[in-house]
Structure 1
């Protein structure tokens, strides 16, 4: 990837600011959409008479699609022009959003989320690659700084916006808004977007690896969600879990056997890279699961509206971005070890406080607990990523980044399914205890393995 970026780099941002803005808007839309389902799952559950674990697939499938598309983003940007990719993405996203408007059952709504995930999943890396290819180093640093801050705040607004719209009109109004925005960006891309990347004719995609990763991780996550519906010992649950794990094993085995793997898993032979990847998996499994369960808890057990649950979680979501801004400075000042240990302790305390919540808990208390958790997570994400990539050679950084980004999406999907499964089978306390267990494991890794 690095050779590709260096080879295609040219300084023509000054003549193409509109193209960068369009790409930025599309990526922002994807991040906004990712968390919008969290606060409107309850009305969807009521409308379609489905379980919480089933409804959770509206969030899970989005993360799964992203985890599948992140590793192949380099192939897409080499094979197709920036304009082709963005136009296809917005067309797919807009069609998916429109299907969400007319959905008459859960299956159709889930299909709409799949199309949305495909559309925005392709964009995850496109903006960053376009900036690296088309901007000077000075322009690149400024743009990435602005974009980083903006994208840190974007996910915070999604649940609030969807909650307000759901209460004012209905949950389908969210899909109306997304359809309109998608259509506008599609029109602008056809009219104004220029190509900012250079294509290569000799790029290769291992289609079998793509198939194995798609089926394996989807099957395993589906098996987790089936536990709450059919029980752990049921044939369909065991079949999905066993088949999913077997196919994941075949996928991993294949990555070590072929010359051009989908993911360069050889980098995980480095103990530091393996440690950081495991920490990332635990962190995002705990983080994303609570982000979905907490709004459901407030709406179902405390009786607040979708908009109120979004407003309560909003300060914590903003603090993730705020903490991310200062995390680099704190890592430089105190070192990776001290920062990750302190932030991991804070995460354990915040998650432990979730276990004290009950139907009489005030919304201020819930917001405060979530703020503690999210601030600690914001302090961990970028420093741990930086520490992890520092453990491998520079020429492997792009491969390491692809692995970390993929693990983030997969862990988010698995975490959501696990939390909803525990919520439905054993209650909210067990779901929160599961998150606390993951947080404690993260603390152990931070204390024993993350140095520097």
Structure 2
């Protein structure tokens, strides 16, 4: 009895440490540095799209492929990371991913055409796609199941800094220097991260090589890339009936479904779907998937409201988004500690309720809604975010054995990537369809399209410095304001879709574990492997 009490006091599992020691924090520092680069880069580039249109004399549909190409590269390489981590070792592979990402960043800065930039972004994505799943694998193995919650709170830092810092940093670099610097800034960070990784990450101790699932790769990677290509083409095509939307989505879906049936046959499939026999992993990943679709999709439109409706600069729009990150930074460390002590089924619903409350404000948004109200709502949503994403990921990975961690983190990352792409596409299509309802102004001509102006286009053009005075003189302040009201209404209607999806997230969350976990070694755990935690 005394021994049991001592065990609980020291960590709850035979004296396993519950605090993050210096060695684990040193490893976490490497992973956070790499994750910051990859996540920050996505949001920084999204801010630069208007600049790319002007610099390369092209269209929005074309420059959007600088984002889509990166996403497709992520989807292609993520399924390989689990097998490659077991085969080559996490340290070697992580350093290779850092190298590819850094080299890709340098090449992006040298691009002198939009096609070159898209190609270099694909190279960047091949490295960036491995950084997150490998980082989660390295950190989970280093910490063990008793400290995953605290460690996931650390990994959550770059996930917060990306949406906050990306628009601010991107806007400042483009205004103060040039678009090239949004990529050049990764070179010194990447070099530091490579040197840091060489010294901080533990030496690879690779396990016996498993046979590579070539057939699985030929189905899964092209299947995911094809499906996401179709999804990413949806905002431009504006309808799912367009051939370039439904055909790649259909081909991708057939390949992915074929892989699902096939994956239970080989001993070592490319993606181990047998892990879904673990009920808690299944519930947690499903909760995370629905949450990502709901929140990340609509979250991309928060800064767009400030830019399109309120006419804020990129830098100011980024600063207005900061309360969300501040709120999350307050709750994330607390949620990480609680996730190691209290079942996530008892805490996550309250955090999701905060997100829903804050999100509802945006369904009522207008052309002149108070910034105090909007920033306050973003802060409340941030409080909820800090208590939602990382605890769910902790619940997903906590039951895995040492050998399953790489495959499990790969599963989680693939679902995150697919969910984010679907959410972003759905919200973009809804917003576009709403804005397409704008009235045409007879007798006017939009120089960019050659067609008559709509009131939505008039409102958007009034924010451009080179067109501001001309638009006001030609159409008048009343018509410009009418266009801003229309744009605000289109955003509000889109946020309603996001709000309904947020409410839908409560369904899978209701099945998250609510009983206290008991940790022990599973029958197939390897000697010395971290003890998984299972439900009884």
* Larger displacement relative to structure 2 (221-230 or 245-254): 221-230
Q: In structure 2, which of residues 313, 320, 335 is the aligned counterpart of residue 327 of structure 1?
A: 335
Q: In structure 2, which of residues 264, 269, 278 is the aligned counterpart of residue 261 of structure 1?
A: 269
Matched, 1:95 2:103: yes
- In 1, the alpha carbon distance for the partners of 2:497 and 2:266 equals 37
Q: In structure 2, which of residues 494, 501, 504 is the aligned counterpart of residue 438 of structure 1?
A: 501
Unaligned 5+ segments in structure 2 are: 1-20, 436-490, 516-536
Matched, 1:166 2:144: no
Q: 1:253 to 1:353 in 2, by over 3 A?
A: same
Q: Post-superposition shift, 1:174?
A: 0.7
Computing the radius of gyration over CA atoms, which structure comes out larger, 1 or 2?
2
- In 1, the alpha carbon distance for the partners of 2:300 and 2:339 equals 29
Q: 1:212 to 1:49 in 2, by over 3 A?
A: farther
Matched, 1:205 2:212: yes
SS at match of 2:271: coil
Q: In structure 1, which of residues 379, 384, 389 is the aligned counterpart of residue 387 of structure 2?
A: 379
Q: Post-superposition shift, 1:222?
A: 2.0
SS at match of 1:256: coil
Q: 1:107 to 1:404 in 2, by over 3 A?
A: same
Which of the pair is proportionally richer in helix? 1
- In angstroms, what is the RMSD of aligned CA positions? 3.9
- Matching residue of 2:229: 222
- In 1, the alpha carbon distance for the partners of 2:174 and 2:426 equals 26
Q: 1:153 to 1:419 in 2, by over 3 A?
A: closer
Q: In structure 1, which of residues 310, 316, 334 is the aligned counterpart of residue 318 of structure 2?
A: 310
Q: 1:102 to 1:420 in 2, by over 3 A?
A: farther
- In 2, the alpha carbon distance for the partners of 1:218 and 1:378 equals 30
Q: Deviations over 1:303-331 (max 9, x none)?
A: 11111111111221243343221124556
* Larger displacement relative to structure 2 (152-161 or 123-132): 123-132
Q: Post-superposition shift, 1:439?
A: 0.5
Q: In structure 1, which of residues 25, 47, 62 is the aligned counterpart of residue 33 of structure 2?
A: 25
The 5 A counterparts of 1:70-89 are: 70-80=78-88, 84-89=92-97
- In 1, the alpha carbon distance for the partners of 2:401 and 2:26 equals 36
Judge conservation of contact 2:108–2:120 (CA < 8 Å) in 1.
Answer: yes
Q: Post-superposition shift, 1:78?
A: 3.5
- In 1, the alpha carbon distance for the partners of 2:130 and 2:496 equals 35
Question: Greater relative contact order (Cα 8 A, min sep 6): structure 1 or 2?
Answer: 1
SS at match of 1:158: helix
Matched, 1:405 2:413: yes
Judge conservation of contact 2:133–2:410 (CA < 8 Å) in 1.
Answer: no
Judge conservation of contact 2:345–2:511 (CA < 8 Å) in 1.
Answer: no
- In 2, the alpha carbon distance for the partners of 1:326 and 1:14 equals 20
Aligned length: 438
Judge conservation of contact 1:216–1:246 (CA < 8 Å) in 2.
Answer: yes
- In 2, the alpha carbon distance for the partners of 1:306 and 1:198 equals 46
Unaligned 5+ segments in structure 1 are: 1-12
- In 2, the alpha carbon distance for the partners of 1:263 and 1:118 equals 18
Matched, 1:357 2:330: no
Matched, 1:106 2:114: yes
